[in-house]
Structure 1
Amino acid sequence: MIKIDQKRQKIIKLMLGGQVLPSSKIHQEIKTAGEDISPVTVKRILSEMAKIGLLEKSGAGRSTGYNISVKGRISAEVDAKEYCSTEPDKRLGLKQYNFKLLENIPKDIFSPEELKVLHEATAEYQKRTEDLSPAIEKKELERLIIELSWKSSKIEGNTYTLLDTEKLILENKEAPGHDRKEALMILNHKEAFNYVRQQAGTFKTLTRKNLEELHAILVKGLSVELGLRKRPVGVLGSIYRPLDNVQQILEAVEALSRAVAKMADPHAKALMAILGLSYIQPFEDGNKRTSRLLANAILLAYGRAPLSYRSVDENEYREAVLVFYELNSLMPFKKIFISQCEFAAKNYAVK
């Protein structure tokens, strides 16, 4: 992924609404925003952006227009908190599933600088996991499972504390005053992580079968229908409406599998899986939980550190995912993902 300067980022931001704009309109908007720039310069920049794939050019002569491409969308620098502070119906995002997104996403979604950080994290993780005694390996596994189960559940609104979660997983003691389903959600995470750890090799290829098996473990006992959903779902606080046709959902899952397969780096595969599955929402419930465990399955399959999300702010996580839903920008969530990869490499020794 190339680094995009602020001038081009401003143009990308103008285009996120999805409309085709002539260079004159783009120039006018830039001038209105207070930047002194000539029409000729704007035309040159737009032409360059189209050439490197950030924009799509249509028409000719005075009818020439520009629209944002998938590459442009995923590269958009967006302040997720600021974007989400606007009421949903006043936001400029996409309301429907973008059929171009998964089919056209580039294989390199990390910059060289980001890859360097991830490779250094992997080296640290591999060093930490060398020559572990069985006792330490068991303790490390328990700690990761507890912290992952707690935070992943908390992101979904579970009210168990970390200490409650520890007691539940290690002693099978439920916290008083909590809904039984909260305990089940946490225990399902434990079972799901053990499953993906044991079956990690099978997740080098994303299939409907391994996806549905993982989902079934995570929603066991929670009154969630298994298999691809057959009814529409909405997203709380978002204008985005996922696909509501089971055949299209299946095709989207297949498109996600292809997108994950073409990614050049294991971390890119995991990032694509977590955001892509959340975006498709193929199941009645439990999609984001499944996406987090799926990403860990991929990371483990390629010898990378699994993530607990322990240090993640839940609101920042939700906002970053929502930006991907509505604008298709990877940037806010990618920052969270890289940070969690670094955190995992420094804090866990589970392989």
Structure 2
Amino acid sequence: MTEHESIRRAVLDYLSARGEWLSLSEILVAQGSDLAPRTLRRWLKAWVEQGVLVSRGGQRNRQYRVISDGAREVGGSSSAVALPVPAEPLSERARAALRRLDVPIFQRPASTYRDEWVEAYVPNQSFYLSESQRETLSSSGSRFAGVMPAGTFARRIYNRLLVDLSYNSSRLEGNTYSLAETERLLLEGVAADDKLDAEQAMILNHRDAIQFLVEGINRLEISVSNIQSLHYLLADGLVAPGMAGELRDEGVRIGGSRYLPLERRHQLLPRLERLVEKARAIRDPYEQSFFLLVHLAYLQPFVDVNKRTARLAANLPLVRHNLVPLSFHDVEPGDYHAAILVAYEFNDVSPLAELYVWTYLCSCRDYDVAAEAVGFDPLRVKYRKLRRQIIAEIVAELLTGPDMEARIQARCLTVPEQDREHFLRHLHEDLRVLAPHRIAGMGLSQRQLDAWLARSRDHQP
């Protein structure tokens, strides 16, 4: 662990141990002179956004408090250890590979789809990700692999995944929605006033595709039809009628590139089937994910929205194996598109592989901070619907103090006596840590939650 990561962990441990409202200056005094105020302010803001901290007060008197005991045990019952994120996403070697694109486009050789590149890849013998990269990913990304049902981890962090992947995947396509605006659109249904309708549609389409992926993971295989379904959900309303989910039968061009994809459906379908066949045979879920990311984009089977489809498809193996999903955190669009073009024109995936590993470590870090320590709790699952109904009633009716407790006691009479203590403990904990990303599916708005939180603070002893 780097010194930077050690200090970051120490701050979070300190906040968890204190468990009370603390100002930025109080935290700085406790941590000593090694921590810059600007750095701490950035960390605190990120932890609030991720649901680890709650804040109160104005800009000058803002205070912070931990809202999840899981912050002290980052990663829960997973056997993985989140590794430090390198400062730079690309090595000098990868940067040198990207500099091949500095040659003016008219001086670069034209290229088209190369069957021999795909055929040269032998599943479980050929690897785009090096052994070291696969070990790094495996060391950081496992969450309940082989223990819990497929999709357990993705469902637990669903709202965070929904916002992060929708935002980052759309951002890579030039969408100008901010992270906060994306969250408001997805969780509250509030669109930004100054944005294009197409940008809103792009984000909402991501929501539908992610929901399809996570909720259907137990039946979803890597198949042509499922890739078409992902494309349909991502492209609906953004491409010509009848083209969403359908293989194209016309040419497409790649901006800024000499790569010319194949043009006809009768050429694309057998190659997509071959690509799927190879992907299904890959045993390592990270290699499988990366293979899909590379080759779905390379084939360009659809009239548009190919890279978005590849990014969602790349998450299928990760979600299935309870690995941390890939949200493309912090990736610069210029780096991503250059790495893709190098793969297209030179069949060199090394820069994209480095970006994949780097952004995956970012995802592991951020999701571990956001997620609670997760262990399968059959009683919590059994009474989830009732617990969420009670929370929705309490928030909607602005119940606090004795009124809230009276409602809880009345509603929990339907819970068998032997389960009641457990139920009440979890209900009170859920109320204590209630935050915007925890109200999805309850029929509550951000405004209702804010009003209830304000009243709750007024009734604190």
Determine the C-alpha separation between the residues in 2 that align with 1:339 and 1:203.
27
| 2:358 aligned with 1:342 | no
| 2:264 aligned with 1:245 | yes
| 2:280 aligned with 1:261 | yes
Match of 1:28 in 2: none
Match of 1:200 in 2: 217
Q: Which of residues 148, 159, 174 is equivalent to 1:157? A: 174
Q: Is the 8 A contact 2:154 2:324 kept in 1?
A: no
Deviations 1:168-195 (CA, angstroms, capped at 9, x unpaired): 1111111112111110100111111111
Report the CA distance between 1:307 and its aligned residue: 0.9
Q: Is the 8 A contact 2:239 2:304 kept in 1?
A: no
Q: Which of residues 306, 310, 330 is equivalent to 2:325? A: 306
Match of 1:175 in 2: 192
Determine the C-alpha separation between the residues in 2 that align with 1:313 and 1:89.
25
Deviations 1:313-332 (CA, angstroms, capped at 9, x unpaired): 11101010110000111100
Report the CA distance between 1:308 and its aligned residue: 0.9
| 2:270 aligned with 1:215 | no
| 2:132 aligned with 1:116 | no
Report the CA distance between 1:99 and its aligned residue: 1.1
* Counterparts in 2 of 1:155 and 1:245: CA distance versus 1, 3 Å: same
Report the CA distance between 1:233 and its aligned residue: 0.2
* Counterparts in 2 of 1:96 and 1:223: CA distance versus 1, 3 Å: closer
TM-score (normalizing by structure 2): 0.55
Determine the C-alpha separation between the residues in 2 that align with 1:138 and 1:281.
30
Report the CA distance between 1:137 and its aligned residue: 8.2
Deviations 1:226-270 (CA, angstroms, capped at 9, x unpaired): 200011000000000100011110011012112212324110010
Match of 1:96 in 2: 112
Report the CA distance between 1:289 and its aligned residue: 0.6
* Counterparts in 2 of 1:266 and 1:310: CA distance versus 1, 3 Å: same
Query: What's the secondary structure of 1:285's corresponding residue?
Result: coil
Determine the C-alpha separation between the residues in 1 that align with 2:310 and 2:219.
16
Query: What's the secondary structure of 2:251's corresponding residue?
Result: coil
Query: What's the secondary structure of 2:314's corresponding residue?
Result: helix
Runs of 5+ unmatched residues, structure 2 = 1-92, 375-461
Q: Is the 8 A contact 2:168 2:328 kept in 1?
A: yes
Q: Is the 8 A contact 1:191 1:217 kept in 2?
A: yes
Report the CA distance between 1:198 and its aligned residue: 1.5
In angstroms, what is the RMSD of aligned CA positions?
2.6
Report the CA distance between 1:298 and its aligned residue: 2.0
Determine the C-alpha separation between the residues in 2 that align with 1:308 and 1:186.
14
Query: What's the secondary structure of 2:261's corresponding residue?
Result: coil
Aligned residue type for 1:100:
E
Q: Is the 8 A contact 1:79 1:332 kept in 2?
A: no
Determine the C-alpha separation between the residues in 2 that align with 1:82 and 1:104.
26
Q: Which of residues 195, 203, 228 is equivalent to 1:186? A: 203
Match of 2:348 in 1: 329
Q: Is the 8 A contact 1:203 1:298 kept in 2?
A: no
Deviations 1:288-341 (CA, angstroms, capped at 9, x unpaired): 111111011221112221111121111101010110000111100001111122
Q: Is the 8 A contact 2:98 2:342 kept in 1?
A: no
Q: Is the 8 A contact 2:154 2:322 kept in 1?
A: no
Report the CA distance between 1:140 and its aligned residue: 3.0
Q: Is the 8 A contact 1:77 1:329 kept in 2?
A: no
* Counterparts in 2 of 1:266 and 1:212: CA distance versus 1, 3 Å: same
Q: Which of residues 97, 102, 116 is equivalent to 1:85? A: 102
Match of 1:318 in 2: 337
Report the CA distance between 1:111 and its aligned residue: 2.4
Query: What's the secondary structure of 2:112's corresponding residue?
Result: coil
Report the CA distance between 1:343 and its aligned residue: 1.9
Aligned residue type for 1:218:
L
Q: Is the 8 A contact 1:321 1:333 kept in 2?
A: yes
Report the CA distance between 1:88 and its aligned residue: 1.5
If you compute each CA radius of gyration, which structure gives the higher value, 1 or 2? Answer: 2
Q: Is the 8 A contact 2:326 2:359 kept in 1?
A: yes
Query: What's the secondary structure of 1:236's corresponding residue?
Result: coil
- In the comparison of the two structures, how many residue pairs are matched? 269
Report the CA distance between 1:126 and its aligned residue: 4.1
* Counterparts in 2 of 1:265 and 1:139: CA distance versus 1, 3 Å: closer
Determine the C-alpha separation between the residues in 2 that align with 1:139 and 1:159.
28
* Counterparts in 2 of 1:252 and 1:78: CA distance versus 1, 3 Å: farther
